[in-house]
Structure 1
């Protein structure tokens, strides 16, 4: 199949994230077809940027699936830009859309990064949020070229479920919805589902997209109510428009996990992970005391697989 057909001929996509733009290729998006793009007239700089992207992509060999994903993000980004222009917002007035001699514009570079993030993305539900990110970057002057590349890289690296986690934490942090995160710490999980979600949260914490007023030493011990978005996490939340993310099945699972809505939250839990400070202090005091009221006290310390210390008291 010719390369152009990968770009210009998107197949039917059913009910996936691509469904809204099924049958619309990169070239069609550049031309601005009626009935698809809201508002027929874009500024010349936007049209030139998307035209450049379309011509560049045509030189690459893509699979049908890759083509469809890139088509979707290209089209959705144009629609979101059109909506913002129609609402009276102005494109950034710095050099984002301007080029120096022998160089391409920042707008072209960031669009290419966004589209090729879409090409590699296996979770189609992330595609609208990648499109939102590019569209919003086109309006926000304080997001420099390096920062924009960093945001695209971060958005590409996190999972859809991690975006849902950011959405839930952000909505709770803003107080705009009835989501009250539990204020008691986890001490382990009764099943792999909980452990898997906790690992996603811990990964966001290690990436500094979220922070906690209490240090989180491993994935098995943290207090949801103490989690807040940090710097770049806030930027992803705002400019990927995660505040508009609907509560789907995964969203409901995250909400139940991070709140006290899950049934029997403490029943059958296996205590794993880092002990709270007060418990560790009590153990240390017991070890040091060696008083007559605990004549048979035996304490054994071992390094565990999580990199912490397991203390066995007998």
Structure 2
């Protein structure tokens, strides 16, 4: 466990003392506090144990360690700000079935988050996955099945698509093209690439048009009318891809301004 934390600290540059204290139950972990915090602590320990044995390379250890460390930091910040974790039942182990105690919903979701981070060859996704779990720990309006679905969507989408979700969620409509691409002739490869990434998310019902018009192909996309819908909004709220560095957003405006 300590090797995993050290790998994450080395990859992120974030001090690991608070997380170490939290996992061993020492004073630095007191920020979590309370009965629900103790359940969260138990779930994190168990999830780390389940995942650690499946990590075979240093890069995998760095990604999972980074995810764990960043998620802890975000949870601690919100608790220090006076927020409370979601209902205790989310973190509590479930009743026995066939003489076997079932893991908590939180523990299952955290293991899924760790495995998503492990497999994130686009390493910039790791921070977004960490935010996902940290925010899920407070998301009282979303049950575990829905959260697992959103996590699978986050795994399916590329880092750039997630950045697009962040941009559309806070879109200044005056900064992008205000008409569709029908009759536009030959388009630059960069523009075509972004349009197809958007169109895939239209097909997943993550993005639609504010005027309710159908987008039957990439040429029907009007950037100034794009908006998030359904799980697109949940991806935005849980992963907060609007908070990525501004340089990571430049491709979008260069392609469809």
TM-score interval, normalised by the smaller of the two chains: 0.7 to 0.9
Q: Which has the larger radius of gyration?
A: 1
Aligned with 1:74 (options 47, 58, 68): 68
Spell out the pairing of 1:285-296 with structure 2 (5 A cutoff). Answer: none
Where in structure 1 do 4 or more consecutive aligned residues deviate above 6 Å? 26-29
How many Å separate the matches in 2 of 1:86 and 1:27?
Answer: 18
Task: Give the CA deviation at 1:28.
Answer: 7.7
Alignment of 1:133-172 (within 5 A): 133-172=132-171
Correspondence for 1:256: 254
Larger CA deviation: 201-210 vs 40-49: 40-49
Write the mapping of 1:51-200 to structure 2, written as runs, cut at 5 A: 51-100=45-94, 101=96, 102-172=101-171, 179-187=174-182, 188=184, 189-200=186-197
What secondary structure, in the 3-state scheme, does the structure 1 residue paired with 2:227 have? strand
Secondary structure of 1:113 counterpart = helix
Q: 1:28 to 1:195 in 2, by over 3 A?
A: farther
Q: What is the deviation of 1:21? A: 4.2
Alignment of 1:186-225 (within 5 A): 186-187=181-182, 188=184, 189-212=186-209, 213-225=212-224
SS in structure 1 opposite 2:50? helix
Q: What is the distance in 2 between the residues matched to 1:80 and 1:11?
A: 15
The runs of 5 or more residues in structure 1 that have no matched partner are: 260-314
Aligned CA-pair RMSD: 2.7
Separation of aligned partners in 2, 1:85 and 1:193: 42
Q: Which runs of 5+ in 2 are unaligned?
A: none
Bigger RCO of structures 1 and 2 (CA < 8 A, at least 6 apart): 2
Residue pair 1:8, 1:28 contacting (<8 A) in 2 also = no
Structure 1 or 2: more helix by fraction: 2
CA 1:8 to 1:183, structure 2 compared with 1: closer, same or farther past 3 Å? closer
The SS at the match of 1:211 is strand
